[in-house]
């Protein structure tokens, strides 16, 4: 059920028109992880449920490829055939064994990137999407800035330790994953256990099995993620999970026991938290005063992960722009949009400011007599002006 409003204000100033989320973590009694850096984030709200040194910059190894994958997907070139370069073929480390000069679909390269962590695939993707490896790295860093990844620097598309200036934080990588998981194609690829790709020079297709053991065998609620390892970064891991509608993101950096740590974080969160609907999409029935009664609505629902003992500390408040008179705006086109804000607080801290809108009835088309008559004629004869 939707939480009841503790109070509302029908006249006031809009304090925010954008969704604003608080990311401070909660106390994590009974949970510990081996990683040097770790974070657990809820997908819908962005709330941090657990963290451990989540803002320290560290090497990230192949979880870099989440950025490479989402840029490839967003490029609109997934159906392109990519010609594999010598530079891609001779990239060291994990590989999907591409051959110089072969042509392979970009989509299959992204599967090889995410499932088998192919460094050769990463370079082939970068050169095709960015025009060059260096051009693609520029795109990676621009995207990082756009997403608020303030402590991240990318120098390659694969995560190898070939540059000193290639690092991120657990928090930044959670932000990236949260963004990527909003993309249906990324969700599908990240959550794929096996993929087959044509191999035109052989009689057999390439068959790839996902390296993410949480997805393939260890955790029933796993929905995807990305593994990583280099000698300097050690083990890194991003994983996602979903249970009873609650989607979680876990990131660990330099973690010798990452499979168990991710399972522990997920199980702890699913035991301690419920995803509570704070506001539902549609009309706000609590508003009783004109000219807003029955007219104000939210375009989206807002759910927030809460412990049982936190629910009583949720406070909600509505702030609406003051109308010019008791009857509101005389001309509907002058009504502001948004019209106000639904503010949610937890223990006096604002966790969301959700835009509210005024329901303006759509104008009916006014057709002339002959247009109306012609419409009837077309309908009755079964023909239109194109025959």
pLDDT in tens, 279-290: 999 988 888 877
Tell me the pairing of strands 37-42 and 246-253: antiparallel
Where exactly are the structural domains of the chain?
1-25+274-387, 37-256
Higher pLDDT, 265 or 362: 265
Q: Return the closest-CA partner of residue 89 out of 63, 68, 118.
A: 118
pLDDT by residue (tens digit) across 37-93?
Answer: 999 999 999 999 999 999 999 999 999 999 999 999 999 999 999 999 999 999 999
Residue 27 has pLDDT above 70, yes or no: no
How is residue 328 annotated by DSSP?
-
Residue 269 has pLDDT above 80, yes or no: yes
Check whether 364 is labelled as a binding-site residue: no
Q: Which two tokens stand for residue 29?
A: 């009694």
Q: What is the pTM of this model?
A: 0.83
d(CA 367, CA 365): 6
Question: Rounded mean pLDDT of 142-148?
Answer: 98
CA angle 71, 77, 80 (to 5 degrees): 135
Residue 255 has pLDDT above 80, yes or no: yes
Work out the pLDDT band at 5, boundaries 50, 70, 90: very low
Q: Which residues, in sequence order, are CB contacts of 290 under 8 Å at separation 6+?
A: 326, 327, 328
Work out the burial of residue 173: count CB atoms within 10 Å of its CB; fewer than 13 is exposed, 13-18 middle, 19 or more buried.
buried
d(CA 318, CA 297): 11
Phi, psi of 374 (to 5 degrees): -65, -35
pLDDT by residue (tens digit) across 76-135?
Answer: 999 999 999 999 999 999 999 999 999 999 999 999 999 999 999 999 999 999 999 999
Residue 370 has pLDDT above 70, yes or no: no
Work out the pLDDT band at 379, boundaries 50, 70, 90: very low
**What was the pLDDT predicted at 256?**
97
User: 1-25+274-387, which class in CATH?
Assistant: mainly beta
Residue 325 has pLDDT above 80, yes or no: no
Active-site amino acid positions: 62, 65, 117
CATH code given to domain 37-256: 3.40.710.10
For the ranges 206-215, 313-322, 329-338, 376-385, which has the lowest average pLDDT?
376-385
Work out the pLDDT band at 364, boundaries 50, 70, 90: low
Work out the pLDDT band at 382, boundaries 50, 70, 90: very low
**What was the pLDDT predicted at 361?**
64
pLDDT by residue (tens digit) across 182-227?
Answer: 999 999 999 999 999 988 777 788 999 999 999 999 999 999 999 9
């Amino acid at each position: 059920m939707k939480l009841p409003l503790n109070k509302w204000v029908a006249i006031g100033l809009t304090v925010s028109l954008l969704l604003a989320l608080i990311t401070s973590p909660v106390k994590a009694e009974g949970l510990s992880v081996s990683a040097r850096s770790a974070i657990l984030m809820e997908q819908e709200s962005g709330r941090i449920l657990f963290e451990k040194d989540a803002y320290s910059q560290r090497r990230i190894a192949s979880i870099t490829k989440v950025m490479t994958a989402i840029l490839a997907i967003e490029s609109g070139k997934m159906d392109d055939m990519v010609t594999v370069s010598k530079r891609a073929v001779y990239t060291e480390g994990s590989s999907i064994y591409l051959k110089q000069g072969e042509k392979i679909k970009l989509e299959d390269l992204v599967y090889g990137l995410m499932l088998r962590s192919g460094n050769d695939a990463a370079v082939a993707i970068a050169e095709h999407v960015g025009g060059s490896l260096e051009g693609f790295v520029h795109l990676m860093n621009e995207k990082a800035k756009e997403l608020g990844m303030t402590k991240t620097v990318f120098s390659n598309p694969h995560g190898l330790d070939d540059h000193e200036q290639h690092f991120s934080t657990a928090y930044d990588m959670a932000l990236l994953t949260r963004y990527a998981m909003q993309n249906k194609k990324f969700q599908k690829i990240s959550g794929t256990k096996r993929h087959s790709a044509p191999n035109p020079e052989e009689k057999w297709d390439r068959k790839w099995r996902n390296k993410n053991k949480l997805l393939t065998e260890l955790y029933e609620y796993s929905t995807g993620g990305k593994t990583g390892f280099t000698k300097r970064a050690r083990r890194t891991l991003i994983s996602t999970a979903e249970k009873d509608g609650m989607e979680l993101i876990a990131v660990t950096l330099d973690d010798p026991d990452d499979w168990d740590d991710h399972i522990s974080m997920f199980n702890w969160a699913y035991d301690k938290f419920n995803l509570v609907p704070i506001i539902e999409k549609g009309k706000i029935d609590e508003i009783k005063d004109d000219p807003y009664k029955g007219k104000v609505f939210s375009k989206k629902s807002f759910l927030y992960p809460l412990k049982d003992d936190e629910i009583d500390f949720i406070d909600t408040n509505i702030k609406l722009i003051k109308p010019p008179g008791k009857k509101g705006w005389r001309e509907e086109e002058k009504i502001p949009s948004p019209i106000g804000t639904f503010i949610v607080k937890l223990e006096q801290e604002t966790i969301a400011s959700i835009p509210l809108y005024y329901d303006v009835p759509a104008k009916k088309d006014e057709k002339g007599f002959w247009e109306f008559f012609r419409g009837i004629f077309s309908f009755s004869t079964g023909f239109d002006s194109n025959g």
